[in-house]
A and B are shown apart, each in its own frame.
Chain A
Amino acid sequence: MTASLARKIGSALFILVVWQALVQTGNLNELFLPAPLSVLKAMWALTLSGRLPWAVVVSLNRVVQGFVYGALAGIVLGLLAGAIGWVEDILDPWVASLYPIPKSALFPLFLLWFGLGDPSKIITIAVGVLFLVLVNTMTGVKSINPLLVKAALDLGASRLQVFVKVILPGALPNIFTGLRLGAGMALILVFITEIEATKAGLGFLLWESFQLLETKDVFAGVVTFGILGVATTWLLQWIERRACPWARR
């Protein structure tokens, strides 16, 4: 266990040290691949100037709003479609046709319909999250052992009680799978929607730095996206462990 951890840390350190050395000996041009320490310095400067924190706040606002709306809609529709045949019939053609479309391809349309402000970005993220959560929630409902529904009815549960006390908890592990995938999707989409037609956000900062050839700042943006990705994964895992204590992982 500790040996495994040591190997992991060793591997990371090794690459970073070699990378740093290659730059310092002049074998790598910082314009293309700035040294790790330079990136750290750039991140520190961006933080002190307030640009990076502000960009994170703006982007997170879009991500969280889009994620919450998309996830809620996805869970509700997924539960209904999974449990009720005619709801599934009504949703099926829309899910089947819209699910395979990369949601970034819808962004231009949303710009056209909802303008240049936050709403078009939030909606793009919400739509991306919605389908992942919906499809996984539906799978979760369908994977519930029908015998559990029978047992609940036999013990006197009403249809509504079956929904709340059997369908919902039974689908919960799959719902969390959808949420984890959705969180990743939200970060991808926030970047894409912030490249054009905006003046704030982490994607904007990254893309503007690229256009100015401030490669250190581009890396600072990339690293920040990475940190956000890891943080959201941890947060969701933490919530899942509390929400599904029975699920063995």
Chain B
Amino acid sequence: MSVLLELRDLGKVWSIARTGESVVALEAITLDVMPGELLILLGPSGCGKSTLLQIVAGLEKPSRGEIRFPDRNGSQKLTSMVFQEYALFPWRTVTENVVFGPEVRKVPAAERETTARRLIDLVKLRGFETRYPHELSGGMRQRVALARALANDPAILLFDEPLAALDAQTRRVLQDELARIWAETGKTFIYVTHSLQEAVLLGTRIVLMTARPGRIKRVIEVRLPRPRSLTRRAEAEMLETLDDLLRDEVKHAMEAET
């Protein structure tokens, strides 16, 4: 299978205008993303995993290095983002939010409607089409955001801690939903999280990142059958391994801060 996305020696340096300092957010990120993966970017907060996602999305420019989609040509955008804070347009109904992408790309109205109906069914929001975001629960809002991101039919969906703002029960339900939608759509997911459980439950590969500067510490294949459960032994063992690795990093991050 050919590589979908190549990251070559990516680096990002933020300069803080007030103090004149510069902070290395990302360093020497080299990674190949294969089609159909559910790639987890896991790391302590401040490790630059969100920055990496923004760079892949084209919303931030890397300070150095290259980002390539080898098999694609043309300028059509290949990624869509799902944000932690949903970022839904409050003045648009569920359907109007979902069709935002096709609308700005001037897709004919009839086609937009078909897409909206299909995706609203996929994320199980039928009956809520004419609701405004403030009339929905957090979990439902994130379903809308997911449908909106899928509406552009991107090759890669980018998730920036999408479930971090939700309560534990809703998060659990949506984790299963995301796994189902990943399997049903066959899309490539790049998924940023700081939750070990989420990484083990969802990922096909886990990229463990270090803190400040954000580097790749370890890449771990997860070859566990689905549906996964954290109460099973294989999952529990993987969780423990990750926990040890991550704890080191958090410690380093905290030492660096003091």
Contacts and interface: CB of A to CB of B under 8 A. Distances in A.
Contacts of A165: 89, 100, 103-104
Nearest to B84: A147
A245 B130 CA distance: 12
B152 interface: yes
Contact of B87 (A145, A157, A170, A244): A145
Given A161-B104, A165-B104, A246-B134, A155 B89 contact: no
A51 B85 CA distance: 60
Contacts of A172: 91
Interface string B21-58: 00000000000000000000000000000000000011
Interface in B54-102: 57-59, 77, 79-81, 83, 85, 87, 89-92, 100-101
A166 B85 contact: no
A15 B83 CA distance: 58
Contact of A156 (B87, B91, B101): B101
B83 A169 contact: no
Interface string B232-251: 00000000000000000000
Contact of B59 (A154, A161, A245): A154
A161 B134 CA distance: 23
A12 to B, nearest CB: 36
A246 B91 contact: yes
A166 B58 CA distance: 20
A246 B152 contact: no
Contacts of B79: 154
Nearest to A158: B104
A145 B100 CA distance: 17
A152 interface: yes
B105 interface: yes
A155 B80 contact: yes
A241 interface: no
B80 A157 contact: no
A165 B100 CA distance: 9
B100 A155 contact: yes
B87 A151 contact: yes
B104 A154 contact: no
Nearest to B93: A246
A152 B104 contact: yes
A150 B87 contact: yes
B215 interface: no
A231 to B, nearest CB: 27
A153 B59 contact: yes
Contacts of B152: 155-156
Interface in A92-134: none
A248 interface: yes
Nearest to B79: A154
Contacts of B12: none
Contacts of B101: 155-156
Given A153-B59, A154-B59, A154-B81, A244 B91 contact: yes
B112 interface: no
Interface string A227-249: 00000000000000000111010
A153 B58 CA distance: 10
Nearest to A172: B91
B192 to A, nearest CB: 15
A148 interface: yes
B132 A150 contact: no
B89 A166 contact: yes
25 contacts: A145-B85, A147-B85, A147-B87, A148-B87, A151-B83, A151-B87, A152-B89, A152-B104, A153-B59, A154-B57, A155-B104, A155-B148, A155-B149, A156-B77, A156-B101, A156-B104, A156-B105, A165-B89, A165-B103, A169-B89, A170-B91, A172-B91, A246-B132, A246-B134, A248-B134
Ranked 4 nearest A-B pairs via Cβ:
A155-B101, A151-B87, A169-B91, A157-B104
